Amino acid sequence: MPLVTTTEMFKKAYQGHYAIGAFNVNNMETIQGIIAAGKRTRSPLILQISQGARKYANIIYLKKLIEAAVIDAPELPLAMHLDHGDTFEICKACVDDGFTSVMIDASHLPFSDNIALSKKVVEYAHDHGVVVEAELGKLAGIEEHVVNDRSQFTDPDEVEEFVAKTNVDSLAIAIGTSHGAFKFKGNAQLRFDILEEVSKRLPNFPIVLHGASSVPQEFVDMIQKYGGNVQGAQGVPEEMLRQASKLAVCKINIDSDIRLACTAKIREHFAEYPAHFDPRQYLAPAREAIADMVERKIINVLGSQDKI
């Protein structure tokens, strides 16, 4: 099937109490690994491209790779999504490039300005059959160009006005998740009370969680073992995310866990086969590690297996 929007995906996810995984893509091996996991589990997928990925890989190449994924997995519902677009111009460019979904992240702006910019993006995107995600609240941490020193929880009192005035199709909220691999120094704490209140204010409306990687310690340990330095990396426990996906959360963003699995396997390969220098030799196991990680998330976190 051709690329789809997230509208039907989210409707089914909300009603079925599961979430759709939004996995960041930067190169061929990452896309192939994600698609392989989707095939194994018969799960819908969101392939999302950040501004950093556009610059790194060139959007022409990424689009063609995703077109290849559509041909390779015609049975899977696939959406192509812009992750963290922070200007009207970048969102417009992605709409014009054939994305089926875009995110306008104006959460760094005052509330009224966030509404104005989000509304402008929505009007253009909807005119072209594209859906829009926006964000209220701020996530701490660092992920590509997204940098915040401190978090700011979403205020449930603002969500109804924001959605009504912008007409966005989904809303990312801040309940304690954080960008990057170094999310917490102590125990993870998510504000499920905020999530539940938001869902009451916005019944049947899809909620999104960013910064939701779990940072599996076996991959942190593997990276450390083979010369890396990610000591202290800690994420959101998978059981917490599964709880969120059973509520109003219909989309969960996962990126750091893929990077950790990929890097761990590459470091292990170099240690075990120091004479190897053909990229295919170390990227093949890295690709399989990505597929295994995505499959794990689909089953343990998202609950989206067998939902096509």
Which residues are marked as active site?
Answer: 83
Report whether 1 contacts 9 (CB < 8 A).
no
Q: Where are the beta strands (DSSP E) in 10-145?
A: 20-24, 45-50, 78-85, 101-104, 131-136, 141-143
Q: Which residues of 93-112 are buried (b: 16+ CB within 10 A; e: fewer)?
A: bbbebebbbbbbbbbeeeee
User: CB-hemisphere CA count at 13 Å for 258?
Assistant: 27
Closest CA to 42 of 279, 235, 307: 307
Closest CA to 240 of 186, 151, 294, 175: 175
- Residue 5 CA to residue 102 CA, distance in Å, equals 10
Q: Which residues have a Cβ under 8 Å from the Cβ of 46 and sit 6 or more positions away?
A: 6, 9, 20, 21, 22, 23, 78, 79, 81, 101, 251
